Amino acid sequence: MRDAGGFRLMGVVNVTPDSFSDGGLFLDPGAAVAHGWRLAQEGAEILDVGGESTRPGADPVGAEEELRRVLPVVEGLAAMASGAVISIDTSKASVARAALGAGATLVNDVTALRGDPEMPGVVAQSGAECCLMHMLGEPRTMQRGVGEVGGVGGVGRVGGPQYKDVVDDVKAFLEQRLAFAVAEGIAEERVLLDPGIGFGKTLEHNLQLLRRLSELAVLGRPLVVGTSRKSFIGRILAAAGTVSEPVDVAGRLPGTIATCVLAYERGARVLRVHDVAPVRAALEVAAATLGAR
C-alpha cells in the first residue's frame, strides 16, 4: 500500500560508470530501464535517473554525455507507465529541459539551483517538482571543506568540512534556497528539501543531522533523506567491531534501513534508496508502530 505511512521511496537509477555503489551496472539503457521497472514494482514511488556521479572526488560530465546517458532511460521509463514519478538528477538546465520533455516531472538538483543560472527558469516554466539539496562546494571538493558556493550553509576550511552548528547552518541554507526558488517563480508546494547527508559532512555532521532532523521539518516542505549505502554507515559498523573495514555496499544495508527508519520517525517523508524492497518493509512496520502520519 503506497504512501500509507506518509512516506515515499525514491529509487536510485544510476546511469554512470563511477557511482560509488553501482557504477557501471546500468550503463546500458535497457538494463537501466529494467532496473527502474524493478524498483517501481518493489514500491518506489519516484525513480531518480542520474548520469553524473556526485560521489566525493567525482569528475564532472559534460551536458552532451550526460544527455546521452539519461535521455533513453527517461524515455523508456516513461513509456513503461510504471506509475512512478520520474526524477532527473542533474544540475544542468539543458539536461533537465530535455528530461522534462521526455517524461520526467521532478528535478533533483544537488546544487539547489546554484549550478546553472537557467535552471530556475526551466523548473518554473515546466511546473515540475524540484528537490533542493545542501552541499559544501562541489563533489570534487566537498569533503575537503574548501568553501561554499553562495556563502550560506557552512564555512569550509582545509582539513575537512566545518560548521558553526551543522543543523542550524543547513537549515538556514535550505530556507534561503526555498525563498530563492519561490522568488524565481517555482511554486512552494512543488519544492522538496534535502539536507545532503554525506555531501560535505563528516560522520558526526551526518549523525547530528539525523538526530535533529525534526528541526529541519519545521521548514514545512517534504524532507528528502539519502543515507543509502553511504560510507559513514560502514565506518560506524567498523568502529563498533561489527565488521572490518572496508565495508562493502552490501554490508551497509542494515545501517541504511536503521537510518531510514530513524529519519522517517524524525520527519523525513522521501527516502532515497538503492534497496527499495527491504527499506519499504522496514518503513511499513515503523509506520504501523508509530501510527500512520
272 is catalytic: yes
Grid cell listed for 94: 539543458
Q: Specify the DSSP class assigned to residue 144.
A: T
Q: How many CB atoms lie within 10 A of CB 288?
A: 11
**Beta carbons within 8 Å of 170's beta carbon, 6+ residues apart:** 134, 153, 154, 163, 195, 196, 209, 216
The answer to whether the beta carbons of residues 215 and 171 sit under 8 Å apart is: yes
The answer to whether the beta carbons of residues 15 and 73 sit under 8 Å apart is: yes
Spot the catalytic one: 171, 230, 266, 269. 230
69 is catalytic: no
Q: How many CB atoms lie within 10 A of CB 188?
A: 11
Spot the catalytic one: 171, 212, 266, 272. 272
Grid cell listed for 246: 572496508
E-assigned strand segments in 106-246: 106-109, 129-133, 191-194, 223-225
Residues catalogued as catalytic: 230, 272
